[in-house]
């Protein structure tokens, strides 16, 4: 069993924050993980499960055993009249999985191309982009319960998915290691291209015959134009959630700020573009030391090199405060703070 000690986590988080972990154990099968968990010497050790490290901000050294999930493999487990049930290891890179599915003709996740992170983390915050969320294609997952080391299957209804939300951020928090996820993908694609710029990008690419490949291409172009590549500039995608507010409050704000961007959803609530709020408080392109607010998408905080997690966190506090003062809306962080 190869357990590393006092190891830097810089390469294990997309923000590129340089903190150290007391122990790190990388595992490539659920058997390896169960073997480690059966070792009594780690029984009472605090544990932190890490996937692609793309939705976490480290603000301190980690006095815990970091479990780095590297379980691979993609497998077609069942084919029905309308669907493919596809199982992927939690350590598979999400975008590689999307590309694999497109090549095989498995439809449903093409709008989710280029989202950083691994398959195992995708249900945690119900990843979403351009009108699609993972809950739309999620079937079930397998996980190991950290306290009793047993393998369990968790179904869709149990996951309690919401906007960037699931049971794994609440009552199941830090209790399970997700080892694989099963997706129910479609044989007949349902194209989602009404979201903002996708249509424009498809026109620009002169695509007239829609395909899952074309949608993914449009999504990749848009993402590359707005979102920083974590390999070049550290970031964790959207740092905040888009806040949902009452439609009457939204109308009041619209009187004072006619340009404000919001989308009605199924309820009486309006989802407000947090990027717009942040930009209109003057933060877009802001930089203090190596911590900053991305110049093409204000919802994304960035590490230009050597920022500490606390510097990024402090910047997020200032942004929350100024948005609250100007618009009376309290932004919630989407990224997990550790
Ligand atoms: N906007 C601004 N200024 C900005 C950024 C955005 O005015 O700096 C306004 C624009 O009007 C724009 C609107 O906000 O039209 C929406 O912006 P965008 O399409 O970039 O999407 P978003 O709402 O800011 C969400 C997700 C992204 C996802 C995109 C596309 C959240 C928290 N973020 O961002 O997800 O890629 O939609 O679907 O819901 C992520 O979760 O890490 C992530 C990147």
Q: What is the DSSP letter of 39?
A: -
Which CATH class for the 234-337 domain? alpha beta
If you write DSSP's letter for every residue of 131-143 in order, what string do you get? Answer: TEEGGGTEEEEEE
Number of H helices, E strands in the chain: 8, 20
Taking CA atoms only, the protein residue closest to ligand 1 atom 41 is 238
The band of 162, judged by pLDDT with boundaries at 50, 70 and 90, is very high
pLDDT at 196 over 90: no
pLDDT at 1: 72
Residues 6 or more apart in contact with residue 62 via CB below 8 angstroms: 9, 19, 20, 21, 22, 48, 338
Q: Is domain 74-186 given the CATH code 3.30.465.10 in the classification?
A: yes
What is the model's pLDDT at position 215? Answer: 97
Average pLDDT over residues 215-219: 97
Tell me the pLDDT band of 221, cut-offs 50, 70 and 90: very high
The mean per-residue pLDDT over the stretch 289-310 comes to 98
The rounded Å distance from CA 273 to ligand 1 centre is: 7
- Give the active site residues: 164, 238, 334
Give span(s): CATH 3.30.43.10, the chain.
Answer: 3-69
Whole-number pLDDT of residue 64: 95
Residues recorded for the chain: 338
CA distance 262 to 127: 20
User: Ligand 1 atom closest to Cα of 223?
Assistant: 36
| CA 188–ligand 1 middle distance (angstroms) | 28
Ligand 1 centre to CA of 241 (Å) is 9
- Delimit the CATH 3.30.465.10 region(s) of the chain: 74-186
Residue limits of CATH 3.90.78.10 in the chain: 234-337
Q: Which residues of 268-299 are buried (b: 16+ CB within 10 A; e: fewer)?
A: ebbbbbbbbbbbbbebbebeeebbbbbeebbb
Q: Is 178 in the pocket of ligand 1 (CB under 6 A)?
A: no
Which residue(s) pair with 303 in the sheet? 234, 291
d(CA 236, CA 301): 8
With cut-offs at 50, 70 and 90, classify the pLDDT of residue 271.
very high
Enter the tokens of residue 17: 């924050």
Question: What CATH class has 3-69?
Answer: alpha beta
Tell the residue nearest (CA) to atom 27 of ligand 1. Answer: 129
Tell me the CA–centroid distance for residue 190 and ligand 1, in Å: 22
Q: What is the mean pLDDT of residues 36-55?
A: 93
Q: Would you give the DSSP letter of residue 93?
A: B
Nearest residue CA, atom 22 of ligand 1?
A: 273
Banded pLDDT at 68 (limits 50, 70, 90): very high
Query: What average pLDDT does the structure give for the chain?
Result: 96
Instruction: Compute the CA torsion angle 219, 159, 144, 89 (nearest 10 deg).
Output: -20
CA distance 314 to 311: 5
pLDDT of 13 above 80: yes
């Amino acid at each position: 069993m190869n357990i590393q000690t006092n190891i830097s986590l810089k390469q294990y988080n997309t923000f590129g924050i340089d903190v150290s972990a007391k122990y790190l154990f990388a595992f490539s099968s659920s058997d390896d993980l169960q073997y480690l968990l059966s070792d009594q010497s780690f029984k009472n050790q605090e544990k932190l499960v890490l996937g692609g490290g793309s939705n976490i901000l480290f603000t301190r050294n980690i006095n815990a055993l970091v479990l780095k999930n590297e379980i691979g493999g993609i497998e077609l487990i069942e084919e029905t009249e309308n669907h493919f049930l596809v199982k992927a290891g939690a350590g598979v890179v999400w975008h590689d999985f999307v590309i694999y599915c497109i090549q095989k003709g498995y439809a449903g996740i093409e709008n989710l191309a280029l989202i950083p992170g691994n398959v195992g983390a995708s249900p945690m915050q119900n990843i979403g982009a351009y009108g699609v969320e993972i809950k739309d294609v999620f079937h079930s997952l397998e996980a190991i319960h950290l306290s009793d080391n047993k393998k369990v299957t968790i179904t869709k209804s149990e996951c309690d998915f919401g906007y960037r939300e699931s049971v794994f951020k609440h009552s199941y928090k830090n209790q399970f290691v997700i080892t694989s996820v099963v997706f129910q993908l479609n044989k007949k694609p349902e194209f989602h291209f009404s979201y903002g710029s996708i249509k424009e990008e498809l026109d620009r690419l002169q695509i007239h015959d829609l395909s899952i490949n074309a949608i993914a291409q449009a999504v990749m172009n848009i993402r590359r134009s707005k979102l920083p590549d974590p390999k070049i500039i550290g970031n964790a995608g959207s740092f905040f959630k888009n806040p949902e507010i009452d439609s009457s409050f939204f109308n009041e704000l619209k009187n004072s700020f006619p340009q404000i961007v919001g989308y009605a959803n199924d309820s009486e609530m309006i989802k407000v573009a947090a990027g717009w709020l942040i930009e209109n408080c003057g933060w877009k392109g802001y930089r203090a030391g190596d911590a900053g607010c991305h110049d093409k998408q204000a919802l994304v905080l960035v590490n230009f090199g050597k920022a500490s997690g606390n510097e990024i966190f402090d910047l997020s506090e200032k942004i929350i405060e100024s948005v609250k003062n100007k618009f009376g809306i309290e932004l919630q962080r989407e990224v997990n703070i550790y």
